[in-house]
Amino acid sequence: RGPEAVSPTGSPTGAPATARAQSGQYLTTAQGLRLQDTDHSLKAGARGPILLQDHHLREKITHFDHERIPERVVHARGAGAHGVFRSYGTASKVTRAGFLAADVETPVFVRFSTVLGSRGSADAVRDTRGFSTKFYTDEGTYDLVGNNIPVFFIQDGMKFPDVVHAAKPHPDREIPQAQSAHDTFWDFVSLHTEAQAHTLWNMSDRGIPRSYRTMEGFGVHTFRLVNAAGDTTLVKFHWKPKQGVHSLVWEEAQIINGMDPDFHRRDLADAIEAGAYPEWELGIQTFPDTEDQMFQGIDLLDPTKFVPEELAPVQPIGLMTLNANPTNYFAETEQVAFHPGHLVPGIDVTNDPLLQVRLFSYLDTQISRLGGPNFAQIPINRPHAPVNDMLRDGMHQAAVHGGAAPYRPNSLDGGCPFLAGQDMGAFVDVPQAVAESIKERRNPASFDDHYSQARLFFRSLSSVEQDHVIQAYTFELGKCYESAVRERQLQALANIDAALCAAVAAGLGMPAPEATEQVPDRDPSPSVSQVGGTWPVA
Ligand code: HEM
């Protein structure tokens, strides 16, 4: 048998069914042997050396020595909460996913995170935030592993180690970018201008959220939904906070990081404990699944692009309420393992080259982070759907599997024949033609526009918000020692918006370069308001 389909939350309050109080009349060893004394090691006389035969001492110290597991290579610092997702049923026409049918309630676990800091870093830093949701559905676990910014730094997952190496603390002094020289980060984003749109969101107030409760969430990539008839629709996922979208200003963030580095973590836990349960509406933008996978000139496979809401409104499909704090940070928030490849029937991936690499990366990293291939058996990761996976053995195997023939079909153990042609509620990959048959290392030409959406975002902001962006660029670029890096980033800003470039250049005491690309005039009309700003139609 595989691991039992036990609820990791176990109770409506989210307390794990497996929580063990670690209290009792006797203290014992891990083997259940009652202990008389855990305060003194066994010595050769009161002043003598400690004896190797002291099993209790060795067990206690050895276990302590191995208490830490590697932190996540990115998104190491996070805060989690349990909750429920109730679907409106409005997505039923486009997906057969059972948890999106009318009025279905599904338990969830959410982990919010910063990207770059270590596990012990401060909360209110300027950074992208992660927003991951695990839906424990009856058809298997579905993970929506998103961010609070709708576009990403890079277009091809091949570049993920590069952007992370450029942004992580310097390898010589291990000093975070935010505190010291910023040369490597700005070197990367000025050399890889596809990162300019995401960087502009980072430099905006979105980079310093007021609270995890006041963040939007975005699936970023385009996904493919499949309905009961097999029809497909391309979609982008959005989380809209019922609390509204709010940010800190830079000076507030500086003070908070000094006074209370756990500000966001505390805010989330306190709100839930007080019964002020945060809520988000899940919504989708839908696009026809055309052969070119383009929508109004936007390449839906390019993860550095979003689709403005007035071109494709976000349609609400359900409501998530976070209503319980974790019982144990390590067991739940630290050991939870999200994966964009955890899909359910009715939701499939696309050929977005960033998403395709993510499909490999998460399982791979978790094998090392969580000590082998059996981490799906950890309570927080256990599916609520029955498991019969034929996986055997391995590090940290907790299941005692029976049966003599761990393969299917077999003629010895019986059971579980593959019923070809029958609808077993199984996940079926969408039969998709592979567009090009020539092996190539290049992006399509439709990925080449690196500036128009950064411009769209900047020009959608109020003048106060634009000032914050200018101040953020001036402050951050002011920390670069290399003038060539600053000049190259100013060049990118010139290609986004001349006024933005001029203001940052003036702040740095440097000349503003001319644009090398065509920059349309500042004409924000017509525009339709959207959370956090006004979105001019290009
Ligand atoms: C975490 C890789 C792009 C959102 C991680 C982790 C890895 C990783 C290795 C650590 C996972 C763990 O230890 O459990 C990558 C790669 C990417 C990529 C290779 C590009 C090819 C993205 C994008 C998003 C994203 C585009 C948002 C849409 C997250 C989040 C987490 C995470 C939210 C934290 C999950 C948690 O809370 O446990 N990523 N990532 N990543 N990634 Fe990515």
Nearest atom within ligand 1 for CA of residue 154: 20
Q: What is the Cα–Cα distance from 247 to 214, expressed in whole angstroms?
A: 8
* Ligand 1 near 102 CB (within 6 A): no
Q: 349 CA distance to ligand 1 centroid (A)? A: 16
In this prediction, residue 16 has a pLDDT band, given cuts at 50, 70 and 90, of low
Residue 243's φ and ψ, nearest 5 degrees, are -80, -5
Ligand 1 pocket: which of 352, 362, 367 to mutate (most atoms <8 Å of CB)?
A: 362
- Roughly what angle, to the nearest 10 degrees, separates helices 196-203 and 452-460? 20
**DSSP output for 419-437:** -TTS--S---------S--
Give which of 287, 321, 298 is closest to 110, Cα–Cα. 321
Q: How far is CA 257 from CA 16, 124, 252, 261, 475, in A?
A: 32, 6, 9, 5, 17
- Tens-place pLDDT, residues 135-160: 999 999 999 999 999 999 999 999 99
Nearest 5°: the CA angle 355, 356, 360 is 105
Nearest atom within ligand 1 for CA of residue 354: 21
- Tens-place pLDDT, residues 412-446: 887 666 666 667 889 999 988 886 678 889 999 99
Q: 375 CA distance to ligand 1 centroid (A)? A: 17
Q: 487 CA distance to ligand 1 centroid (A)? A: 31
Given a cut of 50, is residue 106 above it in pLDDT? yes
Other Cβ atoms less than 10 A from the Cβ of 117: the count is 22
* Ligand 1 near 134 CB (within 6 A): no
> What is residue 264's DSSP assignment?
H
Ordered alpha helix ranges (H), 370-497: 452-460, 463-477, 483-496
For residues 351 and 317, the answer to whether their CB atoms sit within 8 Å is no
Other Cβ atoms less than 10 A from the Cβ of 54: the count is 15
* Ligand 1 near 381 CB (within 6 A): no
List the residue whose alpha carbon is closest to atom 22 of ligand 1. Answer: 358
Q: What is the 3-state secondary structure (H, E, C) of 68-83?
A: CCCCCCCCCCEEEEEE
Q: Which two tokens stand for residue 74?
A: 């990115």
- Tens-place pLDDT, residues 444-491: 999 999 999 999 999 999 999 999 999 999 999 999 989 999 999 999
Q: Please name the residues in contact with 141: beta carbons below 8 A apart, sequence gap of 6 or more.
A: 134, 135, 342, 344, 381, 383, 384, 385
Q: 77 CA distance to ligand 1 centroid (A)? A: 12
**DSSP output for 180-214:** S--HHHHHHHHHSGGGHHHHHHHHSGGGSBS-GGG
> What is residue 140's DSSP assignment?
E
Give which of 133, 139, 109 is closest to 9, Cα–Cα. 109
* Ligand 1 near 534 CB (within 6 A): no
Question: What mean pLDDT value characterizes the chain?
Answer: 91
**What are the residue numbers of the active site?**
75, 147
Q: 314 CA distance to ligand 1 centroid (A)? A: 24
Q: Which helix (H) or strand (E) holds 353?
A: helix 353-369
Q: Which helix (H) or strand (E) holds 288?
A: strand 279-288
Q: What is the pLDDT of residue 1?
A: 26
Q: What is the Cα–Cα distance from 139 to 232, expressed in whole angstroms?
A: 19
Q: What is the pLDDT of residue 409?
A: 82
List the residue whose alpha carbon is closest to atom 18 of ligand 1. Answer: 358
* Ligand 1 near 149 CB (within 6 A): no
For residues 480 and 183, the answer to whether their CB atoms sit within 8 Å is yes
Ligand 1 pocket: which of 69, 115, 141, 145 to mutate (most atoms <8 Å of CB)?
A: 145
* Ligand 1 near 152 CB (within 6 A): yes
CA 510 to chain centre: 37
List the residue whose alpha carbon is closest to atom 3 of ligand 1. Answer: 358
Q: How far is CA 313 from CA 208, 238, 283, in A?
A: 26, 11, 9
Nearest atom within ligand 1 for CA of residue 111: 37
Q: What is the pLDDT of residue 6?
A: 35
Q: Which two tokens stand for residue 303?
A: 């993860």
Strands 298-299 and 294-295: antiparallel
Given a cut of 50, is residue 10 above it in pLDDT? no
Nearest atom within ligand 1 for CA of residue 72: 13
Q: What is the pLDDT of residue 177?
A: 64
Q: 361 CA distance to ligand 1 centroid (A)? A: 8
> What is residue 48's DSSP assignment?
S
Q: What is the Cα–Cα distance from 62 to 70, expressed in whole angstroms?
A: 17
Q: Is the dihedral of CA 471, 477, 481, 485 positive or negative?
A: negative
* pTM of this structure: 0.93
In this prediction, residue 538 has a pLDDT band, given cuts at 50, 70 and 90, of very low
Q: What is the Cα–Cα distance from 145 to 139, expressed in whole angstroms?
A: 18
In this prediction, residue 63 has a pLDDT band, given cuts at 50, 70 and 90, of very high
Q: What is the pLDDT of residue 161?
A: 98
List the residue whose alpha carbon is closest to atom 37 of ligand 1. Answer: 111
* Ligand 1 near 224 CB (within 6 A): no
Nearest atom within ligand 1 for CA of residue 78: 37
% of residues, the chain, pLDDT over 70: 91
Q: Please name the residues in contact with 504: beta carbons below 8 A apart, sequence gap of 6 or more.
A: 470, 473, 474, 477, 490, 493
Q: 523 CA distance to ligand 1 centroid (A)? A: 36
Rg (CA), the chain: 26
- Tens-place pLDDT, residues 109-132: 999 999 999 999 999 999 999 999
Give which of 176, 171, 106, 168 is closest to 141, Cα–Cα. 106
Q: 74 CA distance to ligand 1 centroid (A)? A: 7
Q: What is the pLDDT of residue 175?
A: 82
Give which of 332, 375, 339 is closest to 357, Cα–Cα. 339
- Roughly what angle, to the nearest 10 degrees, separates helices 196-203 and 463-477? 110
* Secondary structure tally for the chain: helices H, strands E: 12, 14
In this prediction, residue 72 has a pLDDT band, given cuts at 50, 70 and 90, of very high
* Ligand 1 near 110 CB (within 6 A): no
ipTM: 0.96
**Amino acid at position 424, single letter:** M
For residues 538 and 519, the answer to whether their CB atoms sit within 8 Å is no
